[in-house]
Structure formats: structure tokens, C-alpha cells
A and B are shown apart, each in its own frame.
Chain A
Amino acid sequence: METEVLVQAERLTRYYDRNCAVRNVSFQLNKGDVLGFLGPNGAGKSTTMQMITGNLAPSAGKVSIEGVDLLDSPKKAKGNIGYLPETPPLYRDYTVDEFLYYCARLHRVPRNRIRGAVGTAQERCGLDSVRDRLIGNLSKGFQQRVGIAQAILHSPPVVILDEPTVGLDPIQIREIRTLIRELGREHGIILSTHILPEVQATCNRVQIINQGCLVYSDTTECLEQQLHGNTLIAAFNAPPSLDEISAIPGVTGIDQLPDQRLRIHYENGRNPAETIAEEAVAGHWRIFELSPERRSLEQIFIELTCSEPAMHSKDTTR
């Protein structure tokens, strides 16, 4: 399958004084990808974003955007990027219209297409109703949307959004996520966040970065599987003996938890939930909870960083 490589980052490294913020991060973004960049606070997400947009020079490594090296010919490479930094760069004394016209000129949108480009961006980001208002007077959510509009205005092949949903209300978050998915059809998108569900809702690929190193890179489906893990949480009011449960096919181990809960480990692909439910009803164990255990992102981090220091990658595109 031929895929168009939009962003190629090779062994990016960045030091702040002696502090290594990002170490040897390599990845690529293909056309049609929505790549989620996941990591706890201070993991190096923003630093990486800043390096691929040319806001920071890497201490070592290479970035190319659509095959154009960012360090050798920054002007040309930057023309293909739309970037929303952590703090949206907005001129508070401008109206939404004025600001977007200015951005369009700054990004060298041809004069006869500026009006159309601004109109489209406003429509996509739901800014039609506030186009004549001063940016400083807009709510945080609208300001964030202006920031996104600014990033997609010149329809760049690569859109990079650094925590785009911070400070938005749940409805706005849903709208922005829909927008990102829509954009993902025509653009390549890199999205950084520390919120796991956000990645699950919008991205088709995930990368997890921790303490400056890339510790995980795979498709979202694979991450989902990892998250589910092979454990169930079950709780009974009249618990059976542990042996009875161990006897159920597929069960490999049981941990006792507080509040009469049990964590049941099972073999990969042999989920015993159905059998447990049947046995529980038949044996009057008075089951009141049975759910697959979703591991939190933190657990995955711990697992990835402790057990496997090298990069875990099953990425087929590499």
C-alpha cells in the first residue's frame, strides 16, 4: 500500500540546559492519519510539537515536512503546517475577521482566495456568529476555536494541535473532536493530549511519550486491547470458594480485593465472563458486579516504562 508521508521526524533530541526534554524520538505521519500524542504533563509533548513546527530547534535530529527539511528550508516547510500551540496565539485587540485575514496573509494565501479561505475556516469552526467580535471579549471556548481556525485556514497538509480541548465544556469538546475527525480525512493531524478518551475518540494511531522517550507507538485498536487487559472485576454477596472460580475454563488467576471484589485473570482471547455469569446464577453466588477491568493510562505507562525500556512498536507503516 502506498502512503504519502507527510511528517518524518528522525531521532529528535532536545536539551534544556542539561535537562533532556526529548530523547531520540522518531515517528512519521501519513496522509489521512490522526496521530495522538499521549503523555503525562511534562513528558515532552509540547517540546516535540514545537520542534516539528519550527518553533524550537532540535539539539539533534531531523524533521521533514512533505519531504522538505524544516531546518534547511524553513520557509517552504512551514508553509505546509498549521499549528495551534498550547496557548492559542491570538491578538486580543483584533476581531475574529481581522485576525483571520491577517493570518491568511501571513501564510501567503493568494489575495483572491483569502475571503473564501477565511469563510470556510469560520464555518468549520462555528465562528460565524462571532466574526465581528473582539477576540479578547470571546469566551475561552471560542478563543480556542479561533486558534483552530487559524491553524486550518490555509488548508495545510499537516495540522498540529497542542491540547486543543483544554478549557472547553463537554459539548464544545465533542464538537471539536468531530471537527478533528473531519479534518483527518483531508489533512494529516497530530494531536497532543494527556486525556486518554480523547485519543480513543479521535485518533487512529497513538504514540505515548514518557520522560522524553517514545514508549509506545501503535494503532488505537491495539491500544484499546492493551487497555482492556485480560482481567475482569467480579463481586459477589455470597462468594464461592476461589477453587470454584479457578475451575472455570480460561481463568488463570484470582486476586482478592477489598469489598468482596475479585480480580479474575484470564487467558488471552478466552474471556470467561459469560461462564462466570451463568455459574453465578446457577450457584446463587449473588453476583452484583461483573465488568472488564479497564486499566488506566498510568498503569500502561508504568508497565511500558518499567518492563520494556526499549520502544514498543508493531507499527506496520515503518
Chain B
Amino acid sequence: MITTIAARELKSLFLSPLAWSILAVVMFILAYLFLASVDAYLTVQGQLAGIEGSPGATDIIVAPLLADAAIILLLVTPLITMRILSDERRNRTLSLLYSAPVSMTDIVLGKYLGILSFFLILLALLTLMPLSLLLGTALDLGKLASGLIGLTLLLAAFSAIGLYMSSLTAQPTIAAVSTFGLLLLLWIIDWAGNSQNEASGLFSYLSMLRHYQSLLKGVFNSTDVVFYLLIVITFLTLSIHRLDADRLSH
């Protein structure tokens, strides 16, 4: 049942030009960034070769690419998630799901997996860029994998937040703006953490950026993974409760 809903979600994303144009724009920008860093690497390659323990292709090309991808996807996620529930609420199609023999959890998980599979497609395309380097050089595959896991977890968290915001309103634009606001806040919240006050530890723990950076460096720490999973679970649970509240009271 969950897969039925997920399949419909993915399909309807691709029925609208939105998904295609987002894929195209994101790929274009990332490809440009990728080529730029390959070019930069080629110019410094000669000097690096002489230095003992100097950073390799993975550090100079792949890690910055994934870091940039995270920023770009932060901007793009709200556009993908905004319609997921708010559109159904506005068009009053939610009652189709409410009166079918499916639970609220099925609905939320189905929708969530739908968005997630879109992002996995995007991620698969993105991965092809660093993998193409294998034709000419050796890569630190462990580091690449750790970075990709980081990006996947990050997108999972983004999508959960977007889904929840979309469940709150009947206006896709409001969902998009509030998702963007919350994502950005969680991204930069550790800027406040740099100052020396008591709450700084909490702020820097909440920052999605910080957890992502350690994964990019190839440090696979279960704290970071748990952080993202907690965000996903929290926001999915909130979404289920929000849909339930639809039924209960107004």
C-alpha cells in the first residue's frame, strides 16, 4: 500500500515539468562546479605531487562538489516537497486517501518514500560525475561513500521537514517558504554556536551543516547518522499527527 502511494507520488512529480526542470537545472549547475574543480585540480596537480601527504582528487574535487550539492538541494527541496500534501488538501483529493483502507502512517510513509525516491534518482545522477574520474585516476571510494551517505541522510531529513510543512497548509507557496526558512535555520544555527555562551553546544548539535561536514571528511560517526534519523522520525511522526488532527477537530 505504501509503495502504491509512493509510486503515484513519484509519477505525478514526473508528470509535471517541475521535476524535470529541477533535475536539469541542478545537474547543470553541479556539472559546472564539477568541471571547475577538475580544472583547478589540474593546475595544482603538479605542485601537489611533490608534497608528502597532500590532499588527493577526492578531497579537492569530490568533497567540495558534495558540499555544494547540499546547499543547492537545500534550495531545491522546498520546491519538490511543497505540493506533496498541501496540493491534495487544496484540491480536496485527500479524502480519496482518507476513505481508502489505508492508515495515516501508510499515507505519510508513502508520500515520503515518493519524494525520497526522486532524490535518490537525483543522487544517482550526481554520483556519476565523481565516478567518471575513475577513468583517469584513483579515488578514495570510502570517502566518496561516506560523503554520499551523508548527502542521502541530509536529503532524507530535508524531505521529512518539507513533508511536515506541506501537511500544515493548503498553500504550496507557504509550505515552500516555511520549509526553506526552517532548513536554512537548521543549517546556520551553529553560527550562533561559535560565540561562547552556554547554549552553544546545543546549537552546534542542531546544525545540519556540522554533522554533514564530518561525514564529508570521511568520518563516519554514528552520532551524525542518529541525528539525521531523529529528524526524519520526528517530522514524519508530526506529519502523521497533523493528518490525524484533520479528522479530529477544526
Residues of A at the B interface (CB closer than 8 Å) are 16-17, 50, 53-57, 74-76, 78-79, 81, 83, 85, 87, 89-94, 102-103, 105-108, 150
Residue of B nearest to A50 (CB): B95
CB closest chain-B residue, reference A74: B103
Interface residues of B (CB under 8 A from A): 1, 4-5, 8, 12, 15-16, 91-103, 247-250
Residues of chain A contacted by B247 (CB below 8 angstroms):
54-57
CA distance A314 to B4 in the complex (A): 47
- Is the pair B98, A75 in contact by a Cβ cutoff of 8 Å? no
Q: Inside 8 A of B95's CB, which chain A residues have their CB? A: 50, 53, 55, 83, 85, 89
Nearest-CB residue, chain B, relative to A59: B249
Cross-chain contact of A150 among B4, B96, B102 (Cβ < 8 A): B96
Asked whether, in the complex, the Cβ of B101 is within 8 Å of the Cβ of A108, the reply is yes
On chain B, the residues within 8 Å of A83 by CB distance are 95, 99
19 intermolecular pairs with C-beta atoms under 8 Å apart:
A16-B250, A17-B250, A55-B99, A55-B247, A78-B100, A78-B101, A83-B99, A85-B92, A85-B95, A85-B99, A87-B92, A89-B93, A89-B94, A89-B95, A89-B96, A93-B12, A102-B4, A105-B4, A106-B96
The distance in angstroms between the C-alpha atoms of A19 and B188, with both chains bound, is 45
Residues of B within 8 A of A108 (CB): 1, 101
User: Helix, strand, loop or mixed for chain A's interface?
Assistant: loop
Could you tell me if B93 and A90 are in contact, using CB atoms closer than 8 angstroms?
A: yes
Cα distance A89–B89 in the bound complex, in angstroms? 10
Residues of B within 8 A of A107 (CB): 100-101
Instruction: Looking at the assembled complex, report how far the CB atom of B246 sits from the nearest CB atom of chain A, in whole angstroms.
Output: 8
CA distance A102 to B4 in the complex (A): 8
- Could you list 10 further interchain pairs (A-B, Cβ under 8 angstroms) beyond the known A17-B250, A78-B100? A55-B247, A56-B247, A57-B247, A75-B102, A83-B95, A85-B92, A87-B91, A87-B92, A91-B12, A94-B15
Residues in B with CB closer than 8 Å to A81 are: 99
Q: Nearest chain-A residue to B96 (Cβ)?
A: A89
- Which of B5, B98, B249 is within 8 Å of A54, CB to CB? B98
Residues in A with CB closer than 8 Å to B15 are 93-94
User: Is there an interface contact between A53 and B99, defined as CB atoms closer than 8 Å?
Assistant: yes
Contact B99–A54 (Cβ < 8 Å): yes
**Chain A residues near B91 (CB, 8 Å)?**
87, 89, 92
- B110, chain A: closest CB distance, angstroms: 10
For B5, the chain A residues whose CB sits under 8 A away are 106
Residue on B with the closest CB to A108? B101
The minimal Cβ–Cβ distance linking B11 to chain A, given in whole angstroms, is: 8
A102:B101 contact, CB within 8 angstroms: no
